[in-house]
Amino acid sequence: MTSAELSEAGRQGAKWLVRLGRLGYGAKGVVYLVIGILAIEAALGSGGQTTDSTGAVREIGEAPFGRISLLIVSIGLLGYALWRFVSAATDAERRGDDPSSIVLRIGEAIRGAAYGSLGIWTLRFLVQGYAESTDHARALTYRALALPAGRSIVIGAGLVIMGYALYQLYRAATGKFLKRLDLSSAGDRTRKWIEQLGGFGVGARALVFGMIGIFLARAGWKYDPSEAGGIEKSLDAIADGPAGTALFATVAAGLIAFGVLQLATARYRVMRAS
């Protein structure tokens, strides 16, 4: 192939990667919508349950057109993971090479790995009709505690997640979650809905992740992997906490809002693959 043909192939590949990334944001949004809807139904006493990402995938599979939906979700999640990996490696988001930017790029790769794992699980569930649900936070904690200095590693990871949650609260309060969205083509009403729902959603998800960080740090402190947990355990703790149903319902509604934000992100995010 000539250099011009290689360049054109690269551009076409980048376009498809961005399309897969957008599909991934949509799939991520659907997963959070399901988690939030099930949680708010539980809060209102009309059925529902607390669940995590794999539980949401199971619910999607049991809905009408479930197999087609699962195929789309799995492709989207894997595409999102691939886009995150490429973006982190090539600095497609133009973050730069200073230490804080490197940390953000590492975070991109970690998110890619997390959603890639969920995409593989979804594909396995689609093909086999069954896939074992694993509490990944607890399983990873168990492995980490077996390492030299494992206790310090787990406590440190918990503190990092709590720091991430605080940063997300900051983004929600300041509107920085809108930084990479180009809403110039959205109408005034749509833009206001995205701004208001997005801030609410990012804040609610930050609270959930803050709880996950607390559980992880406590698991390290007590040297007990059973103390760790993911979204489901976090929601259960919020529901059983002093604020009870009111806070639980608010957070559940916030996760729905976060799902809506991800759908909007699929449409309006400025994305590059190189």
Confirm if 155 and 225 have CB atoms less than 8 A apart.
Answer: no
pLDDT reading at 56 higher than 80: yes
CB atoms within 10 A of CB 121: 20
pLDDT on residue 220: 92
In a domain, 249, yes or no: yes
Using alpha carbons, select from 14, 182, 7, 180 the residue that is nearest to residue 83: 14
CA 175 from chain centre, in angstroms, equals 19
User: What amino acid is encoded at 257 in this protein?
Assistant: A
User: Could you report the per-residue pLDDT of 144-185, keeping only the tens digit for each?
Assistant: 888 888 899 999 999 999 999 999 999 999 999 999 999 998
User: Could you report the per-residue pLDDT of 206-245, keeping only the tens digit for each?
Assistant: 999 999 999 999 999 998 888 888 899 999 999 988 877 8
Could you tell me the pTM of the whole model?
Answer: 0.90
In a domain, 274, yes or no: no
**Across-strand partners of 181?**
269
pLDDT on residue 131: 67
Using alpha carbons, select from 98, 110, 121 the residue that is nearest to residue 157: 110
Average pLDDT over residues 182-207: 94
What tokens were used for 227?
A: 């103390």
Report the C-alpha gap between 207 and 234 in whole angstroms. Answer: 9
In a domain, 273, yes or no: no
Mean per-residue pLDDT of the chain: 88
In a domain, 6, yes or no: no
Give me the domain span that covers residue 190: 11-268
pLDDT reading at 10 higher than 70: no
In a domain, 177, yes or no: yes
pLDDT on residue 107: 85
pLDDT reading at 15 higher than 90: no
pLDDT on residue 93: 76
In a domain, 43, yes or no: yes
Domain count, the chain: 1
